[in-house]
Amino acid sequence: FREESFRNRPLHRAAAAGDTDAVAEFLAQDINPYEQADKGITPLFVAVRNAKESIVRVLLDRYEEDLASAREAVKHWFPWKVEWNGWESRPILIAWTVEECERAVALTTPCPADIPLNTQVFVWLHRMHDGHRFVALDVGNRSKMIAVFRFIQQLLPNGVLSLDRSDFQENCDNCLQIACGYSSAQIVDLLIASGASLATGSGSNDRTPFMAACEMARESMVKHLLTKYGDRFDPTARRQDGKNVVHLLAQMQKHDLLEKLMDRLVQYRVKQFRVTDSQAFNEMFCYRPDSEYAYDHLWYYVRSPAMKKLCANYVEQYQLDVSTRLNDTIVLEYLIREGLFLDYCYKVIRKDLSLLRVCGRNDELAILHMLILSKRLAFVEELYRDHGEIVKSIFEADTREPSQAHVAIRYLVREADESGLQFVLQHHREYYLRDVDKLQESTVDMFVFKELLQTSSRVVDLLLEAFPELRDAINIAKHANKQTWELDHDFYEQFERLRKCFSETVQQLEANGKQLEQYRDESDQRSFLHIAAFSGDPTLVEKLLGRPGFDVLHPDRQSLLPIHLTDDESVFELLLAKNETTQLAYSTDKGYNLLHVCSQRGFRGPNALERLCANGFDVNGAAPDGQLPLSLASCCAMVSFLLEHGARVELLNEQLVEANLSTMRYCAVWELLPHIIHLEWFPRIAHCYLPWMVGSKSRDSFSCSHEDELTAREDIRRVLFDGLYNHSPQQASELFAAVCCRAIVCCSRWFLDYDYDLNYDHADDTGHTPLLGLVSYMEMPNYDIIERLLQKSINVNAVNVWKQTALILFVTRFQSAQWNGHTVETARLLVNRGVQIDAQDEDGNTALHLAFSEEHWELVVFLIESNANLALKNGAGKVACEMVPTFRQSLYAFMR
């Protein structure tokens, strides 16, 4: 709001500077004083925010002068009494230029009285035209609807003739709200005297000016508003999100201001709504957000000691209704769990023991159980002493499965709550013994019980003392072997400790007499040397090899040596140097030699591979199962090395290549394909490649792996596409649908280029056909694909599982569609092809509903011009024009 913020707006800049002469001069130069710079910031807004009272007076004088001309027009043209100012609550747009004024008069209604006030849209003309200065648009004439709608959109940047709203494009704070939050009482008085409303909310949550003053903790302004204008607004009004000033002050921990306001707020509701003090208080304090954030209620924000103390007094004074529902519980359960106002909670429970039966959080446990779990045992002891049979029956009530008593003991054991568990066992041991199986399920059989055996022996002892029947189950749990994944987890944790602190970890691991080389993971029986080789850590490998117990010839469960697991050349050399002859001669259980395994793992070190060849390894040597180094090669470097060293592609066959395709990296496939695509057996496996290439890849992943190669190698591409289609038109149809739904546009185009006889209506698991996929997910321009697909014999009215048509999906994705070259022409293409324009999705929304909701005005115009039904209601009972934000609905009410 500083001068330099408005370099291109002289009137705003003068208002910010407080230069009265400059403001008057700019107004005389015909600069629009209602035009907003950004987010509703008009010159008046700037003057109010900067507390420039003299500028505010000048601009308000101009506003009152312009509004007076509107009143004159009302008096002469409309058959309403001028003192009845209901018309001022309707949108009053501004026609500033000569052309706009002419257009406004052309679209005016000859008889405003025939149009209901709640649909009227007025226009104030900066320049008199044909005797008009203030007109009502002809919103009742259906033939002019589109013209009126477009004209409204044209006028919105000019601003609004109103003090309660300066912008219909964004929901911005109005001037009075800003004045109450930042400016002086004198400016507030000026605005109110000019007609600004204290009852009107504005901004993203429709907060009132009084709320703004409270949120800014402006005590003097709050007092001023209540004292001078207390009868003009509801100080307990709620914002759009359901919060009132009580919730806002509690959220901000403003206990001092809340204390000064509370009695005034309560008495206002008592007088206005004729309720008791307690009813007024409970209504004000109640806040249940309509959202997924269950914690977001008033009591969640009672945190500071001062706020807790203040609210404790109010809770007692006004008798808080503890049975009030919150999102996932009731107030009483939340207060007990969080330790708030416990004395009051206990008093209420003493008066009404039935509260102990009420279920709290997630409807899982009753209040009695929550008292125990929350460690309120002194009070619970009192209840058992004074009302033993009643509370005992509540605790043991078998009204559900599992019972609340069994759920409670599960929590107590899991949290290792010794005092709570001891209390429950003291009073309910006989109940649990009625069904030992359920008891065991709720205690010993829990997943965390193994951990409790190590960390909370006292809890285990309590269970054993109370239930000897569980002794066998507990002993089994104590001596149960760890599961495979647990053993693996421990092993790899030990390995990481070895990498970070070798000597210290070795001492710890060998402290129990077990040597370092004896440690193995459970899944593959690999030693630390195997894992170090796999990790490519030469430092750790060297340290391990320096210990006498590690043997490079010790295989894992798959008969692999450490050297078989590395793709690091330095690690390879370290391992091979330990026992070169034996390792070079070693074969796995499958009969694979070191070259076979290196090929399969994708070893990239040329020096090591050269060394293998120099030691007599045959690059064409077959393993017992027929696999060759070339058929096993999983990376491009390996394929290239083998081919350069005499590997013969004619030794390959379709079985060998197809069997290894799933383990090959994409680079290896493209390195090998040019050498085998001409072989006579290749067409028999060509269909395998495209589904493997696409797989579950996203567009980004596909473009980084196969797109460039497919684009560059048209000969290979055509063979792969033809191979898939010739093998199975159904599989080709499925793949076409997949690439359309994942925005892999290159493949979509190639399918259409080759003009196969596919099922172009094939739907995936969510009902998306290729057309639905193309319009719902766009990362690249695809208009040409949609256009070509629509020329096929397809069902253009196919819907997915959410009943969304192609038109509905296109409208919902229109923002991203525009980034990728789409315009309204795509929607026109769909409509011309026969898409049902009034089809409704599972929520009852039509394409027009969604166009209004997303504020895609060009689509709104197109759909209405295409005869979309404006009167259709969705599942929430809304017509299309009611899908816009609340603050803007008055503009489009005529489009019902």
- The string of pLDDT tens digits covering residues 498-518 is 999 999 999 999 998 899 999
Query: Which residue from 522, 491, 633 is spatially nearest to 567, judged by alpha carbons?
Result: 633
| C-alpha distances out from residue 715 to 280, 314, 495, 710, 727, Å | 80, 82, 50, 9, 18
- Cβ atoms 820, 782 nearer than 8 A: yes
Residues 572 and 591 in one domain: no
SS3 324: coil
Query: Is the predicted pLDDT of residue 64 greater than 60, yes or no?
Result: yes
Residues 566 and 601 in one domain: no
Residues 454 and 507 in one domain: no
Does residue 259 sit within a domain? no
Instruction: Check residue 79 and give its pLDDT.
Output: 58
- Quick one: what percent of the chain has pLDDT higher than 70? 98
Instruction: Check residue 362 and give its pLDDT.
Output: 75
Instruction: Check residue 116 and give its pLDDT.
Output: 85
Residues 384 and 295 in one domain: yes
3-state percent breakdown (helix, strand, coil) of the chain, nearest 5: 60, 5, 35
| pLDDT tens digits, one per residue of 662-678 | 999 999 999 999 999 99
Query: Which residue from 608, 742, 607, 723 is spatially nearest to 676, judged by alpha carbons?
Result: 723
Residues 557 and 662 in one domain: no
Cα–Cα distance, 606 to 614 (Å, whole number): 12
Helical (H) or strand (E) element with 89:
none
Instruction: Check residue 10 and give its pLDDT.
Output: 94
Residues 498 and 564 in one domain: yes
Instruction: Check residue 113 and give its pLDDT.
Output: 76
Q: What token pair was written down for 690? A: 């495209």
Query: Is the predicted pLDDT of residue 73 greater than 80, yes or no?
Result: no
Instruction: Check residue 292 and give its pLDDT.
Output: 61
| pLDDT tens digits, one per residue of 224-277 | 999 999 999 999 999 988 899 999 999 999 999 999 999 999 999 999 999 999
Query: Is the predicted pLDDT of residue 89 greater than 90, yes or no?
Result: no
Beta bridge partners, 94, equal: 124
* Residues 574-578, mean pLDDT to the nearest whole number: 94
Residues 24 and 85 in one domain: yes
Instruction: Check residue 291 and give its pLDDT.
Output: 65
Average pLDDT, rounded, for the chain: 93
What domain count does the chain have? 5
Residues 465 and 485 in one domain: no
Beta bridge partners, 108, equal: 137
Q: What token pair was written down for 138? A: 């002809």
Query: Is the predicted pLDDT of residue 869 greater than 90, yes or no?
Result: yes
SS3 124: strand
- Using pLDDT thresholds of 50, 70 and 90, give the confidence band for residue 296: confident
Rounded to 5°, angle at Cα 642 from 638 and 648: 135
Query: Is the predicted pLDDT of residue 151 greater than 90, yes or no?
Result: yes
Beta bridge partners, 160, equal: 93
Instruction: Check residue 287 and give its pLDDT.
Output: 81
Instruction: Check residue 512 and give its pLDDT.
Output: 84
Question: Looking at 173-182, 293-302, 643-652, which range is the least confident one?
Answer: 293-302
Query: Which residue from 145, 155, 225, 154 is spatially nearest to 183, judged by alpha carbons?
Result: 225
Residues 564 and 603 in one domain: no
SS3 835: coil
- Cβ atoms 52, 78 nearer than 8 A: no
Cα–Cα distance, 831 to 824 (Å, whole number): 11
What distance, in Å, lies between the first and last C-alpha atoms of the chain?
Answer: 40
Instruction: Check residue 294 and give its pLDDT.
Output: 56
| C-alpha distances out from residue 587 to 530, 599, 773, 866, Å | 17, 14, 51, 75
- Using pLDDT thresholds of 50, 70 and 90, give the confidence band for residue 694: very high
Instruction: Check residue 642 and give its pLDDT.
Output: 96
Query: Is the predicted pLDDT of residue 77 greater than 70, yes or no?
Result: no
The domain of 827 spans: 760-895
Does residue 452 sit within a domain? yes
| pTM score, whole prediction | 0.84
Instruction: Check residue 84 and give its pLDDT.
Output: 57
Q: Which residue, of 547, 579, 611, is where some domain finishes? A: 579
Does residue 744 sit within a domain? no
| pLDDT tens digits, one per residue of 592-611 | 999 999 999 988 778 889 99
* Residues 614-629, mean pLDDT to the nearest whole number: 95
Instruction: Check residue 81 and give its pLDDT.
Output: 53
Query: Is the predicted pLDDT of residue 5 greater than 90, yes or no?
Result: no
Q: Which residue, of 422, 439, 474, is where some domain finishes? A: 474
* Residues 369-383, mean pLDDT to the nearest whole number: 97
Residues 389 and 447 in one domain: yes
Residues 534 and 554 in one domain: yes
Query: Is the predicted pLDDT of residue 58 greater than 60, yes or no?
Result: yes
